[in-house]
């Protein structure tokens, strides 16, 4: 028996839930109303063992008929600091804040899984549902872990999904091992000496030095990193100078580094420091470099990938699951995967007839809500299958 038919019967309510969340987005660590909404829906389903974790996170335990292992399902709840430019009735009413990464649907699908599991609890063991705040760069998963979300009872394995507007509704993708890259960031300040533009020999031109630094750093990946270890080095911003007839004393550069190989990840800072030091010293300038390690790479437990394929086949049928290449985007689900066996997969939500074809983080991003029963039923089925095998 599959859970999909039951899930599809709930779709009208789930659409209402998702659109409510879409109209009322909240940024990371500020999801107080979202948290309240989740708790209210869980109580309506009959759940009582609901906990608030990390201030705005929510967990609930679906207890089986007999003792056993515990598996977890995670959905993130925060929105992005981007204006919603869609012309739809459920457009964000919070200026400058919008659910443009699908977290409103992630929350709804996890609530949907809660509803399915309430009616179909595991025979043995438990399913812990984790409604997580602050995925978008504010370390929500890490905060939840520090608040013991993987304990009491101890979680043995965890699954999470993300909507994918590049894949049509009704299809699911997953990677065999590496799923998302480590996402690290840097801020670099090149310090020269200001002066009159007509007398450059009396100054140290931070802009020309910065140009040399940027050009040299672009060779890090092409000439100092194993070409079989995917790495992205991107300068995202540069700021310097305030007048056309003056030599700037300082230039600030910011960017990000994405790596799949943990060994390569921890080589970049030292290599970058060496290049910057050499170039700035050659021109008589100095520098400050701040390198921040954010999300580690997300590595799927290879033993769990077949279980996702099994759940997809059980709920959606054959030929709906495929293995894809890793993404160089970051995902804080990686913090869970660093602690316990984990698997992360992507749910197709693309439907051009519904104007659901814009990429993630685009001001007009939207998704095909018909995909939500697929996500909810796959999550619930995966959890039940894991416990049946334990």
Question: Which residues are known catalytic residues?
Answer: 78, 135
What is the distance between the alpha carbons of residues 146 and 160, in angstroms, rounded to a whole number? 19
Angle at 379 between CA 142 and CA 27, to 5 degrees: 40
Return the residue matching tokens 């079989």. Answer: 228
In three-state secondary structure terms, 363 is coil
Q: How far is Cα 54 from Cα 267, in angstroms, rounded to an integer? A: 33
Which of 216, 79, 197, 82 minimizes the C-alpha distance to 138? 79
- Measure the CA–CA gap between 28 and 69, rounded to whole angstroms: 31
Neighbours of 196 (CB within 10 A): 11
Helix axes 11-23, 32-45, angle to 10 degrees: 160
How buried is 50 (Cβ within 10 angstroms: 0-12 exposed, 13-18 middle, 19+ buried)?
A: middle
What whole-number distance in Å separates Cα of residue 339 and Cα of residue 336? 5
Please name which of 66, 151, 57 lies closest in space to residue 107, comparing C-alpha atoms.
57
- Dihedral (Cα; 26, 332, 17, 96), 10-degree rounding: 30
DSSP string, 86-118: --STT---STT-B--SSHHHHHHHHHHHHHHHH
β-bridge partners, 321: 172
What sign does the dihedral 192-198-200-206 (CA atoms) show? positive
Q: Quick one: tokens of 265?
A: 């990840």
Beta bridge partners of 249: none
Distance from C-alpha of 262 to C-alpha of 281, rounded to nearest angstrom: 30
């Amino acid at each position: 028996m599959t859970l999909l038919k039951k899930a599809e019967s709930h779709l009208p309510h789930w659409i209402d839930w998702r659109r409510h969340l879409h109209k009322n987005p909240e940024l990371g660590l500020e999801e107080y109303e979202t948290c309240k909404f989740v708790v209210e829906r869980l109580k309506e389903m009959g759940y009582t063992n609901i906990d608030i974790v990390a201030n705005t996170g929510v967990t609930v335990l679906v207890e089986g008929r007999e003792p056993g292992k515990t598996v977890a399902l995670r959905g993130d709840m925060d929105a992005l600091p981007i204006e919603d430019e869609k012309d739809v009735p459920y457009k964000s009413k919070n200026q400058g804040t919008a659910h443009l990464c699908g977290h409103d649907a992630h929350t709804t699908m996890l609530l949907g899984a809660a509803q399915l599991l309430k009616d179909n609890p595991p025979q043995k063991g438990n399913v812990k549902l984790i409604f997580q705040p602050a995925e978008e760069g504010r370390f929500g998963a890490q905060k939840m872990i520090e608040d013991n979300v993987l304990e009491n009872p101890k979680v043995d394995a965890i699954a999470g999904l993300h909507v994918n507007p590049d894949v049509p509704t009704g299809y699911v993708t997953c990677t065999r091992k590496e799923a998302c890259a480590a996402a690290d960031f840097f801020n670099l300040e090149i310090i020269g000496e200001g002066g009159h533009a007509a007398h450059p020999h009396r100054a140290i031109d931070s802009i020309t030095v910065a140009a040399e630094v940027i050009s040299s750093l672009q060779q890090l990946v092409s000439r100092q990193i194993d070409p079989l270890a995917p790495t992205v080095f991107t300068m995202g911003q540069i700021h310097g100078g305030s007048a056309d007839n003056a030599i700037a004393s300082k230039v600030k550069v910011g960017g990000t580094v994405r790596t799949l190989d943990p060994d390569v990840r921890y080589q970049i800072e030292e290599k970058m420091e060496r290049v910057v030091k050499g170039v700035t010293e050659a021109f008589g300038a100095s520098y400050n470099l701040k390198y921040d390690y954010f999300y580690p790479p997300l590595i799927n437990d290879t033993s769990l990938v077949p279980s996702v394929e099994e759940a997809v086949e059980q709920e959606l049928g054959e030929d709906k699951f495929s293995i894809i290449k890793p993404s160089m985007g970051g995902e804080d689900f990686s913090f869970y995967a660093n602690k316990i066996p984990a698997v992360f997969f992507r749910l197709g939500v693309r439907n051009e007839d519904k104007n659901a074809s814009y990429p993630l983080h685009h001001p007009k991003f939207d998704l095909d809500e018909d995909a939500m029963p697929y996500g909810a039923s796959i999550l619930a089925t995966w959890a039940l299958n894991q416990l049946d095998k334990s």
